Structure 1
C-alpha cells in the first residue's frame, strides 16, 4: 500500500535524522564529521522533517537544558509540570521559538558547538517553505489515498518532528522501567525500541549521555546504533571515545 509505505518512510527517516543529527550529533557531539558530511546530513534533516523542520541550534540548546535540569521546573520539556501531551508540545514550541528567533539567550554552558547553516535555517523556517511541504503531502494523498481512513494519517506528516519529541519526552519520563537511579523520572519505555529508533531508552541515556549506544541490557536494542557504527567504519563519521 503506497500511502502506508510513504507514511512509514516519512516516520522513520524523519526520526532517524532527528536522533542521529539533531540529538546525537548537534546536542551531544557523540561523533565528528567533516564539513561536507555535516552539510549533507543537515540538508537531509531539513528534507525529511519537511514542514516540521527543527533548527539544530535551538534543538541543541533545549536538549542540553533538558539534561542539566532533568525533570525540574527549569527542564524545557519535562512532562511532570504539564497537564497533557498537547500542553507539553505548546510549552516546548514556545521555548524553541524563543531560541530560534534569538529572543532569549541561553546560559553560557549551553552555547556553541552546534552546527549552523544560515541558508537552511532561514529557508526551512519560512512559512512558504512549510506550506510547500504541506501541499506536497496533501497532493500525495490526493493521488494515492484510495480509502478514506488513510487520510487519518495525513495530519501526522505536518508535525512529524515535534510529534516525535513529544512522544519521547512524555513517555520516556513517565512510563517504563529503570536500569539506573538518575535522580529524575527518566524511563526506558520499550525494551526493543524499533518504533522510536532508540530514543525511548531515556533512563540509559540520562545515565550515560555521551554513549552513542542507548541500549545497555542484553534484551535492549537501539536500531540507530548499528547504522552509526557502519558510518564510522566507512569513515563518514568518527565516533568519540567515551
Structure 2
C-alpha cells in the first residue's frame, strides 16, 4: 500500500484548446446550484425539523443517490459492469434523474472522457487546476467541445441507441419534469398520509414541508456534493494500491459517504469491475447491492475483479 501526499495544483493545467472552450459562464447551472443550496438551508429552521424528515433524507440518499448515480449511471451505464432487464435499467435511470445530475448520455460521456484523459488537460474535472474546479467549478462554465456531435459519437453512442435516453437528450424539459414531479409527489403524498393520521391540516402541512425540505432539497444538495467529492477529494487525498497513469486515490471518507465510490484508485486500476473492493476492509456497499440483484436474478454479466486479464485503461469509448 503506497501512502501519498496531496498533489500540487496549478491554474495553468488546462490546455489552450480547453481554455478556449470554457470561456462562457453557464448561468443556468450556477443559478440552480445557488437556489438549491439556499433552499436546503431550511433544514436549520426548527419548523422544518422532524425525525421523519431525517429518515426521508437518508432513505433518499440510498434510493436516489446511490442506486441512481454510482450503481446505475456509473457502474452499469458508463462501465458496463453488470446488466439488468431494460425495464429495471430505465427505472434506475429515473431514480438518477431525481438527483438532478443531468441525463444519462451527458453523465456517461463526461465520465468516459474523464477516464480517457484522467488528470490530463482534457479531463473535464481535472484537480490539477484546483480543488474548486474539480469539485464544482467545471460545471459552472460551458465547454463547447462537450456539446458537439463528435463528442457524443465518441463517448456515448451506445447510450443514445436506446430510444428512452435519446428522448431525454432531445427533450431536455422531460428531465426537469421528472425531477419536479418526484418533488411534488414527496410533498403531496406526505401531506395526504400525515392528514389521514393526524386529522389536522396545519400539522399535516408541517410534516409534509419537513419531508420535502429534508427528503428532496437537502438530499439533492448532499448527493451532489458526495458525487463531486469523488472527482475532487479522491484525486487529491488518499493512498494508492495501484500505479495507474493518473492521480486517483483511495479515500476512506469518500468511500464512507458514497457507499464505496471512494476506493477510486482501485476503480482506476480495473475500471470494468463491478467491485471496488480489493482489501477486506475496503467495504463496497454498492457492489453488495449489485450482488443482491444478481442473487435475485435481476442482474447478469457482473464483471469480477480481473486486472490480470484486462487492460487498466479499459473504458467504453466509441463502441462499434
Correspondence 1:234 to 2:281: no
Note if 1:11 corresponds to 2:69: no
Residue 273 of structure 2, aligned match among 193, 208, 211? 211
Output the CA distance in 2 between the equivalents of 1:95 and 1:107: 16
Q: Does 1:177 align with 2:239?
A: yes
- Alpha-carbon offset, residue 5 of structure 1: 1.0
**Paired residues of 1:14 and 1:160 also in contact (CA < 8 A):** no
CA RMSD of aligned residues (A): 3.4
Q: Which moved more, 1:161-170 or 1:173-182?
A: 161-170
Aligned residues: 233
CA contact (8 A) 1:31 1:240 kept: yes
Q: Distance in 2 between matches of 1:81 and 1:153?
A: 34
**Which deviations, in whole Å up to 9, do the C-alpha atoms of 1:178-211 show, x marking residues without a partner?**
1112121111111793321111111100001011
The Cα of 1:220 is off from its aligned counterpart by: 0.9
Distance verdict in 2 for CA 1:45–1:175, change over 3 Å = same
Compute the displacement of 1:177 (Å): 1.2
Match of 1:29 among 45, 58, 80: 80
The answer on whether the counterparts of 1:188 and 1:202 sit within 8 Å (CA) in structure 2 is yes
Distance 1:240 1:159, change over 3 A: same
Alignment of 1:195-206 (within 5 A): 195-206=257-268
1:48-197, aligned counterparts within 5 Å? 48-49=98-99, 52-82=100-130, 84=132, 88-92=135-139, 94=141, 99=146, 102-103=147-148, 105-106=150-151, 109-114=154-159, 116=162, 117=164, 118-120=166-168, 122=171, 123-126=173-176, 130-131=179-180, 143-144=206-207, 155-190=217-252, 193-197=255-259
SS in 1 for 2:128: helix
Deviation at 1:98, TM superposition (A): 7.2
List alignment gaps of at least 5 residues for structure 1. none
CA contact (8 A) 1:190 1:201 kept: yes
- Quote the Cα distance in structure 1 between the aligned partners of 2:268 and 2:88: 27
TM-score (norm 2): 0.62
Three-state SS of the structure 2 residue aligned to 1:60 is: helix
| Aligned partners of 1:204 and 1:215 also within 8 Å | yes
Alignment equivalent of 1:43, drawn from 65, 78, 94: 94
Q: Provide closer, same or farther for how the CA distance between residues 29 and 129 of structure 1 changes in structure 2, counting only shifts above 3 A.
A: closer
Query: Is there any run of 5+ residues in structure 2 with no aligned partner, and where?
Result: 1-50, 192-204, 307-320
Whole-angstrom CA distance in 2 between matches of 1:41 and 1:96: 28
Q: Equivalent residue of 1:105, what SS?
A: helix
Deviations 1:126-182 (A, max 9, x none): 3x55455566678879623999xxx79975334455323211111110111111121
> Could you tell me how far apart the structure 2 residues matched to 1:90 and 1:64 are?
19
Task: Give the conservation status (yes or no) of the 8 Å contact 1:198–1:224.
Answer: yes
**Cα distance in 2 for residues equivalent to 1:54 and 1:76:** 15
Shift of 1:18: 0.4
Rg bigger for which structure? 2
